[in-house]
Amino acid sequence: MARTLRIQWEAGQKVTARLVVPRPAKPMGILLAHGAGAGQDHPWMVAMRDLLAGEGFTTMTFNYAYTEAGRRAPDRAPKLLHVHRAAADRLAGYTDEVVLAGKSMGGRMASHLVGDDGWQARALVYLGYPLVPVGKSEPRSADHLRRIVQPQLFVSGTRDRLGPSDLIGPLAAELSGATHLPIPDGDHSLRVPKRAAKSNDAVLVDIAASINVWLSELPGR
């Protein structure tokens, strides 16, 4: 069962978080940030949080301030990062090392928190990295990703229009310590069509297991 926390990100301002601590727990914890369109209690987020906890990781999700306030439009990046840092700092009090993971926008904010702000994550996991903005054809700048020295795992669906495999694969290949895990027939949320060999639930199970293997094989472990 997830424990509910309240995280203060500035004076008088708090957001809700959900923390799952498995028994036994690995020394590495995972902060899973939500995407732009849905908060931490969306079924996808709950499923992935619980699957990662099932792999032995202390796992925490949180709401950004706009989600907590019931607004649909995301805040500007500085405010998103302010909340994200407060959540990461909070999880660091429960575990020896923190992996920053995120779905879509949440993963992108994690990458800026490390690449631009220097937060000392153990590794980063992107679940559908939005390299191409919605409604655009040209990819965003990836300069901050090149400044990240920690290992990075890009999990992307082969049908993802915001993170096309023909862009994500080469990008991961040129980044030091980066890995690309393509999900056959997966869309931006890693969902697969009914004709696929596996169900969506099975795909998420496989992704969580793959994250576990990847993290267990990181240098220095």
Which three-class secondary structure string do you get for 155-190?
Answer: EEECCCCCCCHHHHHHHHHHCCCEEEEEECCCCCCC
pLDDT score recorded for residue 137: 84
Counting runs of H as helices and runs of E as strands, what totals does the chain give?
7, 8
What's the predicted TM-score (pTM) here?
0.96
Nearest to 208 by CA among 193, 190, 195: 190
pLDDT score recorded for residue 188: 95
Residue 220 scores a pLDDT above 80: no
Residue 77 scores a pLDDT above 70: yes
- Residues 190-212: what's their mean pLDDT? 94
What does the alpha-carbon distance between residue 84 and residue 86 come to, in Å, rounded to a whole number?
5
Topology of domain 3-134+148-216 in CATH is Rossmann fold (3.40.50)
Helix (H, G, I), strand (E, B) or coil at 139: coil
Helix (H, G, I), strand (E, B) or coil at 212: helix
Residue 219 scores a pLDDT above 90: no
Residue 190 scores a pLDDT above 70: yes
pLDDT > 90: what percent of the chain? 91
- Residue-range domain boundaries for the chain: 3-134+148-216
